[in-house]
Amino acid sequence: MTAYTLKQDHLDAISEHISIPKYQRRQLKTGIVHIGIGDFHRGHQAYYTDQLLHDTSITDWGICGVALLPSDIKIYKALKKQDGLYTLMVKEFDGALTKRVIGSITEVLFAPENPSKVIKKMASSAVKIITLTITERGYNYNEVTKAFDDQNPNIRHDIANPLMPKTVFGYLTQALKLRKEKGAKGVTIQSCDNIQRNGHMAKNMLLSYVRLAEPSLVSWIETHVSFPNSMVDRITPTTTASDIAILKATTNIKDTCPVVCEPFKQWVIEDDFVNGRPLWDAVAARFVEDIVPYEKMKLSLLNAGHTVLGILGALLSYKTIDEAVHDEDLRTFLEQYMDHEVSPTLSDLKGVDLEHYKASLLQRFGNVSIKDQIDRICSESASKIPIFVLPTITANLESEGQIKCAALLIAGFAIYSLGRNEQGKSLNIKDAMEATLRKKAAQAANGQPEAFLEIESVFGLLKSSPSFVSAYTKAYNTLRTSGVKACIKTYTNN
């Protein structure tokens, strides 16, 4: 069978083996600029939009994908070569693979190569929405001061070089300034990141930047730009060489950047769009007035659940989330954490069957086909823990609720940060805070367990809570003396 590189001109040739976009891609107008064209965006928002373009005759919601960071060059080049096309490989529970070519990304730009092109694109009047998947760290929020980090060298760079920005804030500011000057309509900035009240976060951080860099723009933004909160959910493991090979072997497609994902997907969005929006609700996205309870549920159960399985699973030498959740002891421990520590903090959640949600998470984590990498989950834990786990601990400390499982998790993270698991194998710590984590973990192992809690940007003021410090120290010492298995067993037997 002749193999074809995935490209617009080859779509007909490959359509015998895979479902392809049937809509006229070349006629689509770019209505959305998306920053951050990684797997999460391409497995989720770009998929929903592709589905919508298929099901309707709408032509004004093509996506321009922007690769913002110099390190995004690889994905930019791959997508550029493929005319924005890529394959979505959905790994079903029964092992079946559903494949489809996604066509909603119709343009791709590499910001470091041509900043002014990106700014002009974001300012074009056809563009009505700018969406963001820039990761937890991308918001430049300082957990200690609870404010925008204006000392970040890239932020200082953008203030000094407004037309050659490096950060998302520099780009957005220039684009909004241009829109204002042209008298263009307002625009919606929609965060799709795993952050509680992600729209508020985007707005607050952007306005903080604008106050420093372009103060006269503040009031225009306040009246012309909306920032809906949204909850985005679909597990997208890192694509492996074997996924690419399977794709080639089962179709005649050479695709260097397919996305792998689970069948489940969910998108709940606050309906606050100043300049129109796609009918994503026609393809099962949900528009609601108040997103906060949904976000809280997802972040504190799914994402924190991943962190529990990831950190403790890594210490036990597991490589994938399904292996970790199929360990009976670990699963029971996770259930305890969810039932006794997270659920009580979600009492304002109405109209969602929490028990069903938790059960479905265990099933999703257990999907043996997707093999979600523990390395992926543990990466950047220092920015994930404050969002996924800390709010639960803080709420329980306030209400005198249970904190012992969370304390064990943090103690596990202190041991993980030593860089070796229980079998002495080295762990692949991928974290912007790696040096600090390792330093504090070493101090902890040297007879001062509480030293690890001094990393305020991760643990906030937990070090000043006597009940947390005591639960954490107890867990730390038990983990060190008895190991993860024995420790979680004692925690779940009581």
Distance of alpha carbon 94 from its chain centroid, rounded? 26
Q: How far is CA 51 from CA 91, 208, 237, 280, 293, in A?
A: 18, 36, 21, 9, 27
Kindly state the number of chain residues that form the binding site for ligand CS2, as judged by CB under 6 A. Answer: 8
306 binds ligand CS2 (CB under 6 A): yes
Give the one residue of 303, 320, 421, 478 binding ligand CS2; rule: CB under 6 A.
303
Stretch that binds ligand CS2, among 231-239, 337-345, 403-411, 465-473 (CB under 6 A): 231-239
Q: Which of 128, 179, 234, 404 contacts ligand CS2 by CB under 6 A?
A: 234
Sole binder of ligand CS2 in the list 167, 194, 196, 396 (CB under 6 A)? 194
Residue in 18, 66, 235, 484 binding ligand CS2, rule: CB under 6 A? 235
- Binding mask 369-408 vs ligand CS2 (x if CB under 6 A, - otherwise)? --------x------x------------------------
Residues in Cβ contact with 356 at an 8 Å cutoff, skipping those fewer than 6 apart: none
Q: Looking at beta carbons only, is 65 or 305 nearer to ligand CS2?
A: 305
Examine residue 233 and tell whether it contacts ligand CS2 (CB under 6 A). yes
The answer for 315, left when phi > 0, alpha when psi is -120 to 50, beta otherwise, is alpha
Closest CB 377 distance from ligand CS2, rounded Å: 5
CB 194, min distance to ligand CS2, A: 5
Cβ proximity to ligand CS2, 148 vs 337, nearer residue: 337
Are the beta carbons of 416 and 311 closer than 8 angstroms?
yes
| 458 makes contact with ligand CS2 (CB under 6 A) | no
Question: Which residue bears the tokens 């690419």?
Answer: 244
Which segment (138-146, 233-241, 283-291, 423-431) binds ligand CS2 by CB under 6 A?
Answer: 233-241
Long-range contacts of 466-473 (CB under 8 A, 24+ apart): 467/397, 467/403, 468/393, 468/397, 468/403, 468/407, 471/403, 471/404, 471/407, 472/407, 472/410, 472/411, 473/411, 473/449
Q: Which of 221, 195, 196 is nearest to 207 (CA)?
A: 221
Write down the least CB distance from residue 224 to ligand CS2, Å. Answer: 30
Alpha carbons 20 and 22: distance in angstroms, whole number: 6
CA distance 437 to 435: 6
Contact between 265 and ligand CS2 per CB under 6 A: no
Residues making contact with ligand CS2 (CB under 6 A): 194, 233-235, 303, 306, 377, 384
